[in-house]
Structure 1
Amino acid sequence: MATLLLVRHARSTANAQGVLTGRLPGVSLDETGREQAERVARRLAAVPLTGLVTSPLDRCRETAAAIRAAQPRALRVTTERGLVECDYGDWQGRPLKDLAREKLWKAVQRQPASVTFPGGESLAAMSARAVAAVRRHDSRVEADAGPRAVWAAVTHGDIVKAVLADALGLHLDLFQRIHVDPGSVSVVHYTGDGAVVVQSNTHEGDLAWLAPKGRRRAPRTGVVGGGAGPATGSGH
């Protein structure tokens, strides 16, 4: 299967203010976020992407635009509703420090699979539609460009964590143990046997080793001894 680069959007104005934005409109990257987006774009510039998919929200679209501008060849950006932020309902627009006092907060941290946000979406539904969207795009990329193709999806923190949890075979109740920062890149390779999480929450480092070259083999599950790693020696 193809290789997926999961990108959390760069820092937004709401991130900086400690506000749970959700799907509220008009939230853009702040100055730090624009710098982070350019950094991500430079890292991915060494990898000719076959596809670039983004959540429809502005902060993701802005991050995706920076990535596209740095690519060595023309690349169309596809908007994917399945990767939109969780619908936090009545929690949207509220400061995180206030939400931490809500009775539901403990369940969000300890038993997220049981949580439905008041007036909004359940975390289980969020996870299901995000994972379905990612796997659908991954299959399409492989069908169009072959198993060594690399594509990127720009989305939100809880979405990235849910997709990584699924790839790791973790129950959704454990997804809060995964941490992803704004502007970070995680690498997932789906296989016939499941999935391999190659990297998680990376901020720096050369990604050129992901570019398809010759007969490079993709990561495999269950390699006894751990395998030899990338040939360049500069990857993970």
Structure 2
Amino acid sequence: MPTLILVRHGRSTANTSGVLAGRTPGVALDERGAEQAAALPGRLSALTLAAAVSSPLQRCRQTLQPLLDARPDLPLHTEDRISECDYGDWSGRKLAELADEPLMKVVQQHPSAAAFPGGESMRTMQARAVDAVRDWNARVEAEHGEDATYLMCSHGDIIKSLVADALGMHLDLFQRVQADPCSVTAIRYTRLRPFLLRLGDTGDFASLAPPEQAIGADAAGDRATDAAVGGGAGAP
């Protein structure tokens, strides 16, 4: 079965302003995000890609554009099932405000029970993303062979949920996974089990150093214990 390259979109204007973008239209890459996207073709230069699959949201399409410019023969497909989680009424709100919502503790500690008001549950989010990957695995293998590699550009919580599925982890543990902007995660699927080959690889170790004040740090609750809902902004 194919190898899947999961790319989180580059840093967005919502990431740097501490806003939970969700599916809010018009959220674009910021200057740093555009630089990250521009570097993507070089980072992936050793790989032959059978296809690129994108979330329909603008920040993902912008992230892939430099890669598509560098590889004009690479087919691009849009897949609604790997779009961002539908955060419903939480969409467009400051994460600092959401940290005080009772639901946030559920999102952090028991996400399989979390359902966003006016939106979807995190279980539904994971299920649709996993279904999309299974369908694309079969399609890519049928069209390009079992050794093919393809790419999906998606969002932090989507990628984390796919990693949890690949590792056989319960969704309640997925907040232990980190996927920074424009990070690359690779999963090789086989008939019997997936293998996680890379996780959140940015090639930049700056995000491992404790900054004085990370971008949007006050928006994620307790940085020592809480995961960044939506994925966070990564290193400054």
Worse-matched range after superposition: 148-157 or 62-71: 62-71
Match of 1:7 in 2: 7
Amino acid of the residue matched to residue 24 of structure 1?
T
Partners of 1:104 and 1:18 in 2: CA distance: 18
Q: Which residue of structure 1 aligns with residue 49 of structure 2?
A: 49
Runs ≥4 in structure 1, deviation > 6 angstroms? Answer: none
Q: CA deviation at 1:70?
A: 2.4
Corresponding residue SS for 2:97: helix
Task: Give the secondary-structure state (helix, strand or coil) at the position aligned to 1:25.
Answer: coil
TM-score by length of 1: 0.84
SS in 2 for 1:126: helix
- Cα shift at 1:46: 2.4
| Greater Cα shift, 157-166 or 38-47 | 38-47
The answer for the alignment partner of 1:19 in structure 2 is 19
Partner of 2:197: 198
Separation (CA, whole Å) in 2 of partners of 1:18 and 1:109: 17
Tell me, in whole angstroms, the C-alpha distance in 1 between the residues paired with 2:66 and 2:125: 26
Q: CA deviation at 1:160?
A: 0.2
Counterparts of 2:43 and 2:26, CA distance in 1: 27
Q: How many residues align?
A: 204
The match for 2:172 is 173
In structure 2, the partner of 1:93 is: 92
Aligned to 2:39: 39
User: Equivalents in 2 of 1:133, 1:14: separation in Å?
Assistant: 26
Q: 1:160 — aligned with what? A: 159
Q: Please give the alpha-carbon distance, in whole angstroms, between the structure 2 residues aligned to 1:157 and 1:41.
A: 20
Indicate the structure (1 or 2) with the bigger Cα radius of gyration: 1
Q: Deviation of residue 149 (structure 1)?
A: 0.7
The equivalent of 2:146 in structure 1 is 147
Q: CA deviation at 1:186?
A: 0.3
Residue type at the aligned position of 2:44: L
The code of the aligned residue for 2:156 comes to: G
Deviation at 1:67, TM superposition (A): 1.8
User: Is 1:127–2:126 an aligned residue pair?
Assistant: yes
- Paired position in structure 2 for 1:215: none
Cα drift, residue 177 of structure 1:
0.4
Q: Are the aligned partners of 1:40 and 1:184 in contact in 2 as well (CA < 8 Å)?
A: no
Q: Percent identity?
A: 51
Partner Cα distance (1:155, 1:32) in 2: 18
Which residue does the alignment assign to 1:60? Answer: 60
User: Alpha-carbon deviations, 1:11-36, whole Å to 9, x = none?
Assistant: 01001111000001001101000001
For residues 187 and 41 of structure 1, the distance between their equivalents in structure 2, rounded to whole angstroms, comes to 16
SS in 2 for 1:179: coil
CA RMSD of aligned residues (A): 1.1
Q: Residue 45 of structure 1: CA displacement?
A: 2.5
Letter in 2 for 1:39: A
1:114 equivalenced with 2:113 (yes/no): yes
Q: Which residue is equivalent to 2:218?
A: none
Provide the rounded CA distance (Å) in 2 between the counterparts of 1:130 and 1:23: 15
Alpha-carbon distance in 2 for matches of 1:41, 1:85: 23
What is the match of residue 217 of structure 1? none
Per-residue CA deviations over 1:74-94 (Å, capped at 9, x if unaligned) read: 112100000000000000000
- Matching residue of 1:138: 137
> Residue in 1 aligned with 2:83?
84
